[in-house]
Amino acid sequence: MNKVELEQIFESFSNFNVLIIGDVMVDAYVWGKVDRISPEAPVPIVSCVNRESRLGGAANVALNIKSLGANPILCSVIGNDEKGKEFLNLLTKIQEEQYGIVESDKRRTTVKTRFISDNQHLIRVDEEDTHELADEIELQFIDHIKSLLEKHEIHAVVFEDYDKGVITKNLIEEITALSNKKNIPILVDPKKRHYTDYKNVTLFKPNFKEFVEGSNLLIEKGDIEGLFEEAKKFQNEMGIEKLLITLSELGVFISNEKTYEHIPAVVRQIADVSGAGDTVISVATLCLAAGMDAKEIAAISNLAGGIVCEIPVVVPIDKDQLLAESKKIFAIA
């Protein structure tokens, strides 16, 4: 791949509409100073300096897709509550319309609040409901997604599963069947509850812990050959075209069932791993839609995940930085 080809691929991202289905949330941050320990208990006292709310969960995938130049269509269910209104206000930053979002009186909008001092996370407080969608809302949500798939030219579908209950087995089966019928690539960032429900998808992206636990395996992270043997079995059983496994400090692994590639991690100063998986699946989605091969998808996705880990809060990937660093790993000036 030469410089012009790589630049053309990155430029082509702007042509893609990506439908993102999953659990969304508000990522709230409280920044403060710690100067003393509480006299009431052996815990630090945080003097609040600043507060901020950002889009989180599947919405962070939408942010990354937007940051890379493509058009995200975010589909989720939120609560009909104050935090839900806050989420919708934040969403207007990346898309003017909110046609993929369904509001429900039977759920709370998920909020994760992180307390940070001197770039160190002190504690995280979660407010959420994790039960699956009630039957009526589930049917409404599935029909809503189907209508979006019929109305719009969709170049990829992403399931971003945070195990909060928005994604159900019925939803997976119906949307996967319709997407495959339309020859739309399907990419999955899974969690445990529905791990084995994602059959016949294009790319499946667990981290190493999710892969070994979801498949009940006893294997060391550094055993790449052993990982490939298990990957082939899993892909064959599930009908998965590409299996992309993130290995944290060891980089990423990708298999197309016949061959595999192991891309080592780039050495970086890690500040925060939150949101890195969202970035990886976002970059993988657009690289796949642009026609890149498995090794190229893994290499650029691995690079993107490392870049966002250098920042102590969840942020989307910077397209220009990713392009510049991608040129270096492909040795193009």
Once rounded to an integer, what is the mean pLDDT over residues 40-51?
93
Say yes or no to pLDDT of 268 above 70: no
CATH of the domain spanning 3-25+58-103+130-329, picked from 3.30.70.60, 3.50.50.60, 3.30.70.100, 3.40.1190.20: 3.40.1190.20
Average pLDDT, the chain: 90
Residue 312, pLDDT score: 53
**pLDDT by residue (tens digit) across 73-114?**
999 999 999 999 999 999 987 765 678 999 999 999 999 999
Say yes or no to pLDDT of 269 above 60: no
DSSP string of 207-247?
BHHHHHHHTT----TT-HHHHHHHHHHHHHHHT-SEEEEE-
User: Looking at 14-18, 248-252, 265-269, which range is the least confident one?
Assistant: 265-269
CB 138: neighbour CB atoms within 10 A? 17
Once rounded to an integer, what is the mean pLDDT over residues 114-126?
90
Express as a percent the part of the chain with pLDDT over 90: 74
Express as a percent the part of the chain with pLDDT over 70: 93
Say yes or no to pLDDT of 331 above 70: no
Q: By C-alpha distance, which of 56, 196, 158 is closest to 113?
A: 56
- Structural domain boundaries of the chain? 3-25+58-103+130-329
Residue 95, pLDDT score: 66
Once rounded to an integer, what is the mean pLDDT over residues 148-175?
96
Catalytic residue among 105, 189, 278, 318: 278
Strands, sheet with 252-255, edge to edge from the N-terminal-most edge strand = 101-104, 71-79, 17-22, 156-160, 186-189, 203-204, 242-246, 252-255, 260-263
Once rounded to an integer, what is the mean pLDDT over residues 3-7?
87
User: Looking at 76-80, 212-216, 239-243, which range is the least confident one?
Assistant: 212-216
Once rounded to an integer, what is the mean pLDDT over residues 219-243?
94
CA distance 108 to 32: 27
CB 219: neighbour CB atoms within 10 A? 14
Q: By C-alpha distance, which of 275, 286, 273 is closest to 319?
A: 286
Structure-block tokens of residue 64: 């990354």
Once rounded to an integer, what is the mean pLDDT over residues 183-187?
98
Once rounded to an integer, what is the mean pLDDT over residues 301-306?
87
Could you tell me the pLDDT band of residue 249, with boundaries at 50, 70 and 90?
Answer: confident
Once rounded to an integer, what is the mean pLDDT over residues 245-269?
85
- Highest mean pLDDT among 9-23, 214-228, 247-261, 317-331 belongs to 9-23
Which one is predicted more confidently, 22 or 325?
Answer: 22
Residue 278 known to be catalytic: yes
Residue 2, pLDDT score: 79
CB 87: neighbour CB atoms within 10 A? 27
Residue 317, pLDDT score: 81
Once rounded to an integer, what is the mean pLDDT over residues 138-154?
96
**CB within 8 Å of 95: residues ≥ 6 apart:** 62, 66, 71, 72, 73, 74
